[in-house]
């Protein structure tokens, strides 16, 4: 094959990706750089040119320039969802799939969808649109990339909650960086073009500091540069362009099995940091070399390198291939400084060349850094030392010539039979070095030399007697036996190397499987690892209950099956046998399929299309490695599904515990009032005429109190059910907190001694809340304070305004307080504190309902015990704080 011709398989993969939608990401270093504006401006140009453009989700954030760009742009009606009494507008995925525009605009890729949407995150909606063949443009800030989350948190002090997996950026067809200098961005912020003036002032002092913006800008620039560099490498490999190209710096370090590897790794790290470049470490395993020192590889991983181990006999050729694939621009190797004397001569006799010199001759355009290291200790080498390509015949000829010269020099002392034994030694050495072919060449050359120089008549080649014929037969037999054994040893060495490579890949695959957190990510990882082993393209299909197999993952993303391959995949899923190329079932298909059948859930079909048809054979190391990986993938799928089932079982267990607690509460809290009502009713019925008026009124009051108690209990159960089902929808309005607090106090008999105080900052301020729900919250909290406080103790209600947009209602009692271990569970359903000499009557639902109602109104409720203002010798008490948004 002409190495200058384009790679047809990569071109085919690129062509197949055209059937899917293309994703373009407008990437920015921070909010406000103009990502949405740039996306809309380019979309409007396409719309004017006749392209079917549709705005799916556009977040203008009230910015005038962005809103101006949306005028006249067709938009998709939003999907209205109800969440905790609020109506939210979300992206309508099914509406977009039905509309099928040529280009869909999706702002803020990292957005989390509201409960009830088809997907939990917006990037999952984008993947569904791409799979349907719809082009998508979207925007993203660099701080939302998952792998950069920790770095951004260290720089800005803010932990971003909404993130996008890195593979989404890798799958994007195009990334356009929208760049703005930190000073220009801060100027826009001061001018009020990004946030309101009050918010902008805080942002300038915190997130939008000039140092933060400069660091985020550098991260965005590097990420974009890395993507461009990857695109260059992919294009070079697809077009079979001989590299490397110095488009972006990449440092490649070569390390061997000795202790010099650590010095090479450290130097490569320093060089990569100085060049602000990516770097990788390559170790080439060769036959008969000592085991690799794992410390060097571990050090490389600790320092952030991409570590790769390959097998091969020609170190220079493997290094050249790796440098071309990674588009390396700097090469780092070790250089021994103490190879002197007999070691140097031994290396020359063995045909070993200096690695640095060989790399310079092979890669003359690649800068080479030779790191001085201590010379490795001499290690014994077993028979079978490799001779370089082009050298075996030469060295065998030299060996036979040396034996001939030695025989001529010692001819007066040795007979021709003894000299023949020396030639046999040369034949054995050649067999061990080069196998059967080289041994036959050595035997022929040795016999001719022996016959020509030593067997009478000398200086002539004749086989004139039985002695000569036996000599020829002996040379041929020795050459055949030793050559066969040498070739077998070499084949076993290659097989052992292949097994080592397969095991190493399996170990790397197992580590990679531990990373994904959902089945979609695991499917993508399985396909990626399988493609690295033996396939130019890999697909993973789910064998669901439908007749068609559903795509789960593909590498490259555009990989698709033809009609024959689809039939082979369905046959594999139905009959649970391997199908496709290299098998006895549907061998005409271009793909080979094997079944992944976990113990739980739907089975999956793994399809591999290899560029080399020979790699599909059942006895190839690639096929055996894929079999092992398929088994591990099956176990990983089963493990993840079992984890999901365990989570569901845990949720059901929690539900069962809640149901048990509810039934127990029903049995306890209904039995007591029902018993009292029954007793009072029987007394009144049997002795009505014998009871005086006061006694009758007392019994009727007891019945009334028990009925009220039961009514409150059932009301709490009803409220809890409505909260959990999302039926409560607050109707917020500006309410006067003192009036609501006074109404709540009037409803709680035990809170008659409560006092209300309003701070100056809160005087006249109104809270945004539902007055009926807020009153119920205060009733529940006051009732709880009265239950756990001594009779006639003081309950204080304070209304303050700690922040400009917030009002705070604090209810402080003088009760027994809450133990520290129980404080986190104070607002849980059916929780009742055990502090004190008795258990207060109640169901443990009052505070849980209060929390649900407060959160439904957009506020928060917390508790503190002991109270911070209580004297040391007094009861600890409890302080419950209710925070609500303030109105105008």
Domains of the chain by residue range: 8-238, 250-373, 392-491, 514-722, 730-885
Task: Please indicate whether residue 232 or residue 225 has the higher confidence score (pLDDT).
Answer: 225
Q: How far apart are alpha carbons 110 and 123 in whole angstroms?
A: 7
- Which tens digit of pLDDT belongs to each residue from 274-332? 877 788 888 887 655 555 555 677 778 778 788 887 777 678 888 888 887 777 888 88
The pLDDT, as a whole number, for residue 25 is 92
- In three-state secondary structure terms, 595 is strand
Q: Is the pLDDT of residue 136 over 90?
A: yes
Q: Is the pLDDT of residue 367 over 70?
A: yes
Q: Is the pLDDT of residue 357 over 70?
A: yes
Task: Please indicate whether residue 263 or residue 105 has the higher confidence score (pLDDT).
Answer: 105
Q: How far apart are alpha carbons 107 and 60 in whole angstroms?
A: 9
Look up residue 790 and give its two tokens.
Answer: 């001594």
Average pLDDT, the chain: 76
Q: Is the pLDDT of residue 873 over 70?
A: no
- Only one residue has tokens 């060449």, namely 441
**pLDDT tier, 377 (very low <50, low <70, confident <90, very high otherwise):** very low
Q: In this structure, what are the phi and psi dihedrals at residue 356, rounded to the nearest 5 degrees? A: -60, -45
**Residue 340, number of CB atoms within 10 A of its CB:** 10
Asked if omega into 246 is within 30° of 0 (cis), the reply is no
The listed range with the strongest mean pLDDT (94-103, 330-339, 412-421, 529-538) is: 94-103
Average pLDDT, stretch 496-507? 65
- Only one residue has tokens 């756990």, namely 788
**pLDDT tier, 346 (very low <50, low <70, confident <90, very high otherwise):** very low
Half-sphere exposure of 104 (CA within 13 A, CB side): 30
Is there a common fold for 8-238 and 250-373?
A: yes
Q: Is the pLDDT of residue 369 over 80?
A: yes
Q: What number does CATH give the domain 730-885?
A: 3.30.565.10
- Which tens digit of pLDDT belongs to each residue from 644-660? 888 777 767 766 665 66
The listed range with the strongest mean pLDDT (130-134, 492-496, 508-512, 718-722) is: 130-134
The pLDDT, as a whole number, for residue 344 is 47
Q: What number does CATH give the domain 8-238?
A: 3.40.50.300
Q: Which of 468, 486, 489 is nearest to 478 (CA)?
A: 486
Q: Is the pLDDT of residue 186 over 70?
A: yes
Q: Which of 843, 820, 848 is nearest to 832 (CA)?
A: 843
Q: Is the pLDDT of residue 613 over 70?
A: no
Q: Is the pLDDT of residue 235 over 70?
A: no
Q: How far apart are alpha carbons 771 and 734 in whole angstroms?
A: 9
Query: 514-722 has which fold?
Result: Beta-Lactamase (3.30.450)
Q: In this structure, what are the phi and psi dihedrals at residue 560, rounded to the nearest 5 degrees? A: -140, 160
Look up residue 263 and give its two tokens.
Answer: 């010095």
Q: Is the pLDDT of residue 708 over 80?
A: no
- When computed from its CA atoms, the radius of gyration of the chain, rounded to whole angstroms, is 40
Region of residue 877 (left: phi > 0; alpha: psi -120 to 50; beta: else):
left
**pLDDT tier, 338 (very low <50, low <70, confident <90, very high otherwise):** very low
Look up residue 327 and give its two tokens.
Answer: 């588009």
Homologous superfamily of 250-373 in CATH?
Answer: HUPs (3.40.50.620)
Q: Is the pLDDT of residue 12 over 80?
A: no
Average pLDDT, stretch 861-875? 79
């Amino acid at each position: 094959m002409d190495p200058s011709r384009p790679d047809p398989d990569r071109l085919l993969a690129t062509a197949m990706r055209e059937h899917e939608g293309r994703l373009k990401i407008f990437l920015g270093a921070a909010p406000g750089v103009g990502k949405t504006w740039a996306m809309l401006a380019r979309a409007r140009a396409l719309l004017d040119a006749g392209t079917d453009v549709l705005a799916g989700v556009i977040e203008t954030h009230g910015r005038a320039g962005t809103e101006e760009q949306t005028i006249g742009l067709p938009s998709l009606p939003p999907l209205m969802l109800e969440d905790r009494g609020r109506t939210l507008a979300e992206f309508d995925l099914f509406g977009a799939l039905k509309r099928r525009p040529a280009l869909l605009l999706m702002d803020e890729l990292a957005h989390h969808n509201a409960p009830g949407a088809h997907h939990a995150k917006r990037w999952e909606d984008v993947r569904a649109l791409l799979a349907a063949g719809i082009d998508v443009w979207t925007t993203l800030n660099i701080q939302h990339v998952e792998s950069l989350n920790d770095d951004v948190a260290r720089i800005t002090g803010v932990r971003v909650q909404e993130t996008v997996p890195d593979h989404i950026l890798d799958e994007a067809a195009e990334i356009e960086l929208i760049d703005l200098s930190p000073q220009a961005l801060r100027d826009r912020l001061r001018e009020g073009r990004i946030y309101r003036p009050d918010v902008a002032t805080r942002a300038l002092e915190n997130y939008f500091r000039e140092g933060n913006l400069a660091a985020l800008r550098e991260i965005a620039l590097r990420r974009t540069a890395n993507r461009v560099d990857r695109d260059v490498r992919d294009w070079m490999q697809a077009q079979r362009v001989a590299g490397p190209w110095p488009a972006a710096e990449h440092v490649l370090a070569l390390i061997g099995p000795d202790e010099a590897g650590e010095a090479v790794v450290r130097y490569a790290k320093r060089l990569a940091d100085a060049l602000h470049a990516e770097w990788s470490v390559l170790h080439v395993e060769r036959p008969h070399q000592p085991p690799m020192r794992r410390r060097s590889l571990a050090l490389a991983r600790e320092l952030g390198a991409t570590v790769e181990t390959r097998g091969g006999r020609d170190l220079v050729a493997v290094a050249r291939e790796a440098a071309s694939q990674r588009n390396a621009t700097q090469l780092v190797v070790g250089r021994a400084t103490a190879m002197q004397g007999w070691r140097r001569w031994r290396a020359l006799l063995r045909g070993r060349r200096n690695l640095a010199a060989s790399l310079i001759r092979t890669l003359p355009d690649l800068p080479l850094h030779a790191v001085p290291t201590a010379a490795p200790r001499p290690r014994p080498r077993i028979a079978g030392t490799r001779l370089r390509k082009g050298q075996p015949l030469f060295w065998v000829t030299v060996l036979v010539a040396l034996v001939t010269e030695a025989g001529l020099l010692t001819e007066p002392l040795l007979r021709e039979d003894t000299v023949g034994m020396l030639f046999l030694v040369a034949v054995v050495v050649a067999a061990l070095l080069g196998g059967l072919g080289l041994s036959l060449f050595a035997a022929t050359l040795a016999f001719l030399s022996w016959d020509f120089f030593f067997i009478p008549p000398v200086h002539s080649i004749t086989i004139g007697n039985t002695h000569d014929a036996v000599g020829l037969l002996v040379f041929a037999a020795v050459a055949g036996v030793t050559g066969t054994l040498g070739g077998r040893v070499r084949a076993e060495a290659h097989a052992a190397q292949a097994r080592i490579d397969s095991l190493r890949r399996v170990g790397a695959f197992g580590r990679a499987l531990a990373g994904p957190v959902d089945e979609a990510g695991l499917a993508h990882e399985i396909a990626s690892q399988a493609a690295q082993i033996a396939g130019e393209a890999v697909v993973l299909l789910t064998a669901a209950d439908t007749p068609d197999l559903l795509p789960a993952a593909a590498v490259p993303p555009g990989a698709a099956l033809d009609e024959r391959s689809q039939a082979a995949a369905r046959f594999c899923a139905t009959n649970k046998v391997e199908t496709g190329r290299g098998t006895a079932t549907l061998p005409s298909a271009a793909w080979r399929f094997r079944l992944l059948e976990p113990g739980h859930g739907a089975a999956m079909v793994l399809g591999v299309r290899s560029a080399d048809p020979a790699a599909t054979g059942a006895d190839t190391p690639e096929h055996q490695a894929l079999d092992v990986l398929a088994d591990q993938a099956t176990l990983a799928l089963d493990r993840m599904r079992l984890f999901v089932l365990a989570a569901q079982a845990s949720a059901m267990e929690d539900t069962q515990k809640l149901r048990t607690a509810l039934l127990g509460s029903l049995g306890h809290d209904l039995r007591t009032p029902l018993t009292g009502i029954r007793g009072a009713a029987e007394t009144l019925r049997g002795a009505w005429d014998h009871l005086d008026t006061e006694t009758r009124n007392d019994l009727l009051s007891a019945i009334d109190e028990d009925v009220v108690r039961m009514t409150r209990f059932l009301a709490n159960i009803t409220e809890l059910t409505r909260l959990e089902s999302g039926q409560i929808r607050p109707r917020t309005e500006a309410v006067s907190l003192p009036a609501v607090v006074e109404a709540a106090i009037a409803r709680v008999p035990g809170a008659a001694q409560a006092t209300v105080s309003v701070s100056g900052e809160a005087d006249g301020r109104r809270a945004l809340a539902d007055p009926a729900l807020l009153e119920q919250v205060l009733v529940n909290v006051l009732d709880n304070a009265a239950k756990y406080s001594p009779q006639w103790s003081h309950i204080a209600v304070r209304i303050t305004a700690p922040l400009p947009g917030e009002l705070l209602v604090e209810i402080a009692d003088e009760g027994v307080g809450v133990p520290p271990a129980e404080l986190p569970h104070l607002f849980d359903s059916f929780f009742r504190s055990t502090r004190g000499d008795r258990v207060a009557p109640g169901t443990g639902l009052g505070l849980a309902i209060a929390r649900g109602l407060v959160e439904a109104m957009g506020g928060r409720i917390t508790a503190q015990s002991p109270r911070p203002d209580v004297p040391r010798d007094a009861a600890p008490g409890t302080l419950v704080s209710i925070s609500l948004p303030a109105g105008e």
